[in-house]
Amino acid sequence: MLGTINRKRSRGKSDGEKPFWISYADLMTAMMTLFLAAMAVTMVAITRDVQQEKAKEVVRAEEIREMCKELGEAFNTHPHIRVDCADNRISFGEAGRFAHNDYHLPPEVGASLADLVPVVLKSADGELGRKWLKQIIIEGFTDTDGSYLYNLDLSLRRSEWVMCMLLDPTKNMQLDLSPQQLQRVRDLFLAGGVSFNNAKENKDESRRVELRLQFYGLDEPGGLGNDRPKFRSPTEDRCMLQ
């Protein structure tokens, strides 16, 4: 009987010595395990998002390259028009060069624009064009003679003169566009002066005009071109430059 009582007391003492709370080390181990698990899940999610963005960018680049390639193939044999898909630019060779301190172009560029514009508008209204093509910037370049502001004004006049050749029928009789096509030119083309920021090897080559194709980025909401500004002209456009 006495032995039984002693065994009960011994067992009760042993149970009482066991701690109710887990140890500090065990707690820290559990917290570290949860932290590592959360970090692993986060890293997997971030990696997946990055991979998806890269995949979208690859598709975007391929579709833009496909559109530009089709545009270039249309002018493979043209004497003046050149489409550079590496820089997304359209140039006109000798026909797109200006005389010193002048913003007028040789007559040959009028015929080149007449060949180019309908094809560009058709491409812009295609599936890939409406998806990615944001605008076409007309860039007029100068040489390095003269001051910066003088050349900036001259380059702007050069790009504006090309816009005049697109919209004012009196400036380019060879370009015959419908009212709908003229409206698309207003929506899509933009004149912008760039001065001499991209000079060529010699001054003659520097005095030129180029068209730069600008495309929507993945983070832009353009979609199928629904955000393009719409410029309405109640009467025929007339160029202010002479």
- Residue 78 CA neighbour count, 13 Å, CB half: 25
pLDDT of residue 238: 84
Query: What amino acid occupies position 134?
Result: K
Helices vs strands, H then E, count in the chain: 7, 5
Tell me the average pLDDT across 36-46: 80
SS3 21: coil
Q: How many C-beta neighbours within 10 Å does residue 8 have? A: 10
Q: Read off the pLDDT of residues 113-136 as tens digits, 9 standing for 90 and up.
A: 999 999 999 999 999 999 999 999
Q: DSSP per residue over 110-134, as a string? A: HHHHHHHHHHHHHHHTSHHHHHHEE
pTM: 0.75
**Residue 189 phi, psi (nearest 5):** -90, 145
Alpha-carbon span 142 to 205, nearest angstrom: 9
Query: Contact 214/134 with Cβ under 8 angstroms?
Result: yes
Tell me the average pLDDT across 27-43: 80
pLDDT of residue 225: 46
Alpha-carbon span 31 to 100, nearest angstrom: 75
The domains of the chain are located at 47-215
pLDDT of residue 29: 79
SS3 215: strand
| Measured distance between the N- and C-terminal CA atoms of the chain, rounded to whole angstroms | 126
State whether the Cα torsion 231-233-237-240 is positive or negative.
negative
| Candidate from 57-66, 86-95, 194-203, 227-236 with smallest mean pLDDT | 227-236
Query: Contact 141/207 with Cβ under 8 angstroms?
Result: yes
Q: What is the CATH number of domain 47-215?
A: 3.30.1330.60
Q: How many C-beta neighbours within 10 Å does residue 112 have? A: 23
